[in-house]
Amino acid sequence: MQGCIRNRKGKPSMKFKNDYVQRVYDSVAARNPNEPEFLQAVGEVLESLVPVVEKNPSIEKNAILERITEPERAIQFRVTWMDDQGGVHVNRGYRVQFNSAIGPYKGGLRLHPSVNLSIIKFLGFEQIFKNSLTTLPIGGGKGGSDFDPKGKSDTEIMRFCQSFMTELQRHIGADTDVPAGDIGTGAREIGYMYGQYKRLRNEFTGVLTGKGLSWGGSLARTEATGYGLCYLTAEMLRCMKNDSFAGKTVVISGSGNVAIYATEKATELGGKVVALSDSNGYIHDPDGIKLDVVKEIKEVRRGRIKEYVDAVPTATYHEGCSGIWTIPCDIALPSATQNEIDGASAEILVKNGCFCVAEGANMPSTPEAIAVYQKAGVLYAPAKAANAGGVATSALEMCQNSMRYSWTFEEVDAKLKEIMEGIFHACYDASKEYGEEGDLMAGANIAGFLKVCDAMLAQGVAY
Ligand code: NDP
């Protein structure tokens, strides 16, 4: 089921103020005509890079934009698995190894029926800049499958994960490519995949992150993306508005890993989270979401968010997802999926007083929604900055695995907070240096790009 994703076309006719950037975009659009999400992500990044390209002629001379928009490697493979009744199914698996200029490819595995090459390429492309922003040595990659984990038994999930890893294992490695979780891939799936990797390769290495705590996982990895989102948002509120979460009404979409731990941290920082959702609908609890109820439904029973109203009868459930953006709030943290806020939803958010949007999901706002935030002066933290806490903590997990050592929860959490605050300042400083002060989208794209660009220039071109 597609859920609430709004299908949108790419914009092959985007216009840029620089001839070189225009030529690169036109060429990417011509070569990838059926990849709207990928084109959307490329268009947004290229637009921000116009002033950088104008200041640094070596970018055009060395074809850096042409190279950075083409994956180093894109693997597609068949995944055959057997259901509990003996029926045989075939899914499509992907791993896109986008850029390894600053470290091994790193990025999650998405299991969702909407997965296709365009979605994996958009996620892998975004991951290059996000990973660079963390300041840690990790390149960009992404993978997944159009397999739908919903309604499958544990043993069906296990057989799928084993079959998926049977092929994936030949392309990854602790110093080559280190996948992690994403939509549909949590601790259970990582466990089944890791078991199969170990079986086939006879090695116990940090080849996946998001592992269980007793076999190489990092404390605070589960919480990292949601917590990190709130750390960055809090720093943005403090520095740009002399404000905080205290006393603010917060709306968060999704009810998965990111949404749950964003709810936990936003509440701890004094905010009141009043709504959560899934791909069927949303709950509204004006008294503030009771997170223990949500965790029991989602993490213990793997249920649906509508079950919340059985435990909290004063809350209401509404079918459909976009209605969540009609709930008045000060802060919105979209944490479900791409393109979940379009221009019309953004207009309603702003009209109802929302003054801050920080993205937990990848690319949850359409370009039209971003234009609405910018026109209204909404504080806006784009995904590649705001949700980088997950991959940053994954890189800390890799570090602990290499040392054969574990840090405490407090140690990892403190490093995460420092990294997220650092990302805010890197984005802000880059926006200022390139004449767009306070535009964190431009700042994130520029700061993330510069480090990768330097490494690509230093590493030369293979003739
Ligand atoms: P989960 O699978 O744990 O949860 C996803 C949530 O989003 C579920 O509530 C799901 O509802 C909802 N959702 C998924 N697809 C759709 C859809 N098409 N329409 C509406 N709702 C949908 O995933 P995560 O919480 O891990 O990921 C959420 C987002 O955050 C993704 O964009 C992911 O790429 C991004 N992200 C995640 C990181 C992590 O560490 N986990 C790191 C960085 C980014 P349902 O159950 O009905 O499908």
Q: What is the largest CA-CA distance in the chain?
A: 67
C-alpha 335 to ligand 1 mean position (Å): 6
- The string over 213-245, giving b where at least 16 C-beta atoms fall within 10 Å of a residue's C-beta and e elsewhere, is eeebbbbbbbbbbbbbbbbbbbbbbeeeeebeb
**167 alpha carbon – ligand 1 mean position (Å):** 25
What is residue 462's predicted lDDT score, i.e. its pLDDT? Answer: 74
pLDDT digits (tens, 9 = 90+) for 288-323: 999 999 999 999 999 999 999 999 999 999 999 999
CA 276 to chain centroid, in Å, comes to 18
| Per-residue tokens: 327 | 């709930």
Ligand 1, atom 7, lies closest to the CA of: 336
Instruction: Give yes or no for residue 4 having a pLDDT over 80.
Output: no
With bands split at pLDDT 50, 70 and 90, how would you rate the model's confidence at 337?
very high
pLDDT tens sequence across 181-200: 999 999 999 999 999 999 99
- Which amino acids are annotated catalytic? 142
Q: Which atom of ligand 1 is nearest to the CA of 221?
A: 40
Cα(250) to ligand 1 centroid in Å equals 18
For the cut 80, the answer to whether the pLDDT of residue 257 exceeds it is yes
DSSP 90: E
One-letter amino acid of 135:
T
134 pocket-lining for ligand 1 (C-beta < 6 Å): no
pTM: predicted TM-score of the whole model, two decimal places: 0.95
Q: How far is CA 153 from CA 150, 184, 451, in A?
A: 9, 14, 44
Q: Whose CA is nearest to atom 5 of ligand 1?
A: 256
- pLDDT for the residue numbered 255: 98
Decide: 258 in ligand 1 pocket, CB within 6 A. Answer: yes
* 338 pLDDT more than 80: yes
Q: In ligand 1, which atom is closest to the CA atom of 363?
A: 32
CA distance readout (Å), 359 to 140, 374, 379, 389: 19, 15, 11, 12
Q: What is the pLDDT of residue 83?
A: 98
Dist. CA 182 → ligand 1 center (Å): 7
Q: Which residue minimizes the CA distance to atom 40 of ligand 1?
A: 390
CB 226 within 8 A of CB 219: no
Average pLDDT value for residue range 57-68:
98
